[in-house]
């Protein structure tokens, strides 16, 4: 039998047994067949609604071949640095149950990939961390020689919030498919969210733009996420000198635009273009005393060349 570690051979044998059982029944019963296959499908698939963050390196195909070969490795380095950044930041409590999942459920596409989260809020915060790491890589704060050789890296990203199915070690589902289609349609370095992600932020935050004035306490109150502090939001209980850089609301501005609906393979995708400007600190993992401050913008407000 074909050996694929993503699939359980027992499940494949059970599926064949159902087929044989139906075939051996002289009186065909369409409803019974449907029931047998439907119940089997429900039992083998783990299913839930998840947020998927898709990240794609912009104009990957235009890199020279020797540099293209390094891009998947560079992307993995950036992912590892992002996870380390979260572990060493105030956001560890936000992702405390997700660190292993971030490492094991990543779907690589070579020039990017898909990462899974419980909510779009988690996906958004991870995206900010990833962009911060990318910025420090591009500016030569780590792996400076590799950065100089490969050259500038620009990314586009998208968040979708929909069904995800687990079968063995592999993830499938509408959230991944639609995320891939959005990234494929984008011709610039945008940050795009789908309608369900947009609705999520409306429900819990009165709109994604409101994140720029939210505090950790308000986020905990509105979402039930059990955190005491987070990197990109002020803490109202913090009594430090308010002139310190770290005490300013770190998400400065969020702009959102409704983009014309996309149509891909007879599917209509309702999407929104996001631009976020935020300030951040970067701590040197080898020397935590050293830190870099920077202001960064992710996404852009150009809505041309999307379809």
Greatest alpha-carbon span in the chain: 82
Determine the Cα–Cα distance for residues 119 and 184; give it in Å rounded to an integer: 23
Give residue 201's pLDDT band: very low, low, confident or very high (50, 70, 90): very high
User: Where does the chain show beta strands of DSSP type E?
Assistant: 46-57, 107-108, 112-117, 155-167, 170-172, 191-194, 251-258, 262-264, 267-269, 271-283, 291-298
> Residue 176: CB partners within 8 Å, gap ≥ 6?
52, 107, 114, 160, 164
Determine the Cα–Cα distance for residues 182 and 158; give it in Å rounded to an integer: 7
The per-residue pLDDT for range 232-276, each reduced to its tens digit, is 887 766 655 444 444 444 899 999 999 888 787 777 889 999 999
The per-residue pLDDT for range 61-113, each reduced to its tens digit, is 888 999 889 988 999 999 999 998 888 888 888 888 788 778 788 888 888 99
Domain annotation for the chain: domains and CATH numbers: 46-298 (3.30.70.1230)
């Amino acid at each position: 039998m074909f050996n694929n570690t993503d699939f359980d051979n027992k499940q494949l044998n059970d599926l064949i047994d159902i087929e044989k059982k139906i075939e051996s029944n002289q009186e065909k019963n369409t409803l019974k067949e449907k029931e047998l296959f439907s119940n089997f499908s429900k039992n083998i698939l783990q299913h839930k609604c998840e947020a998927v963050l898709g990240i794609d390196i912009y104009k990957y195909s235009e890199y020279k071949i020797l540099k293209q070969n390094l891009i998947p490795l560079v992307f993995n380095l950036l992912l590892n640095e992002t996870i380390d950044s979260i572990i060493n930041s105030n956001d560890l409590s936000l992702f405390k149950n997700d660190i292993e999942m971030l490492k094991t459920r990543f779907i690589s596409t070579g020039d990017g990939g898909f990462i899974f989260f419980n909510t779009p809020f988690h996906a958004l915060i991870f995206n900010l961390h990833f962009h911060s790491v990318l910025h420090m890589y591009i500016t030569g704060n780590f792996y400076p020689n590799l950065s100089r050789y490969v050259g500038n890296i620009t990314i586009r990203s998208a968040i979708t919030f929909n069904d995800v199915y687990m079968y063995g070690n592999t993830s499938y589902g509408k959230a991944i498919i639609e995320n891939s289609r959005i990234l494929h349609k984008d011709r610039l370095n945008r940050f795009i969210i789908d309608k369900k992600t947009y609705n999520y932020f409306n429900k819990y935050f009165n709109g994604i733009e409101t994140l720029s004035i939210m505090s950790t306490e308000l986020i905990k109150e509105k979402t039930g996420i059990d955190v005491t502090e987070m990197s990109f939001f002020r803490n109202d209980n913090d009594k430090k000198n308010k002139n310190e850089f770290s005490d300013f609301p770190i998400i400065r501005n969020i702009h959102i635009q409704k983009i014309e609906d996309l149509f891909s393979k007879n599917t209509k995708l309702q999407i929104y273009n996001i631009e976020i400007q935020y300030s951040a600190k970067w701590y040197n993992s080898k020397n935590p005393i050293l830190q870099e401050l920077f202001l960064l913008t992710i996404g852009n407000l150009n809505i041309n060349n999307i379809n």
